Amino acid sequence: MKKIGVLAIQGAVDEHIQMIESAGALAFKVKHSNDLAGLNGLVLPGGESTTMRKIMKRYDLMEPVKAFAKEGKAIFGTCAGLVLLSKEIEGGEESLGLIDATAVRNGFGRQKESFEAELTVEVFDDSPFEAVFIRAPYLIEPSDEVSVLATVENRIVAAKQANILVTAFHPELTNDNRLMKYFLEKMV
C-alpha cells in the first residue's frame, strides 16, 4: 500500500489524511525531515504559505522536500502548497521552486471573496469537480513543461509538471476524492 505524508506544521492536515485514506493509501504526518523516509508521496496542505515557509525553514525542511521531489517522488500542493511549490511567488518571496510557474497569492481576493465553483478538470472525463476556494492563489506564466488542468476566469487553478501536482482550491474540504486518486494512481 502506498505511503503518503502530509506536511503537518500548519493547515488542513487532518482533512488531507482523511482524503488520502479514503483514496486507498496510508497517511502519515510529516514534521521533520526524517519523517520523509519510506514515503511514496507528500502533500503540502492549504494554510498560510508565509507561516508554513517560516516553519519549514526553522525545522530545516526546505531542502529535504526539494530532494524528495528530485528523487522523483510525487508532491501534491493545495492552496498554500501551490504557492510554496511554485518557481516564483509574485512579490519575491522564497519558494521551493518545483513547478515552473509564478504564484499570485490571494489572487482571487481576501477571506470575504472566498467561493465555490464547479470546475472542468482535464484529467476527469465525468462530472465537474466542486472546488472550494479560500483566499485562493492562482498561477501565471507557466512554462511549456506545465500542464494546465483547470482554470477559473482564465486563471490557472490546477496544474501539474512531472511529479508535482497543484491546486489553488481545497479538494480535502469536499467528499470528492478524485484528485487524490489521480495523484495516487498516476503520479505516485
Catalytic residues: 79, 170, 172
3-state secondary structure of 26: strand
Q: Do 157 and 150 contact (CB within 8 A), yes or no?
A: yes
Q: Do 106 and 137 contact (CB within 8 A), yes or no?
A: yes
Name the grid cell of 107: 489572487
For residues 70-109, one letter each, b for 16 or more C-beta atoms within 10 angstroms of the residue's C-beta and e for the rest, the string is eeebbbbbbbbbbbbbbbbbeeeeebbebbbbbbbbebbe
d(CA 168, CA 159): 9
Q: How far is CA 77 from the centre of its chain?
A: 1
d(CA 110, CA 6): 25
Instruction: Using alpha carbons, select from 4, 50, 57 the residue that is nearest to residue 26.
Output: 4
Name the grid cell of 39: 514515503
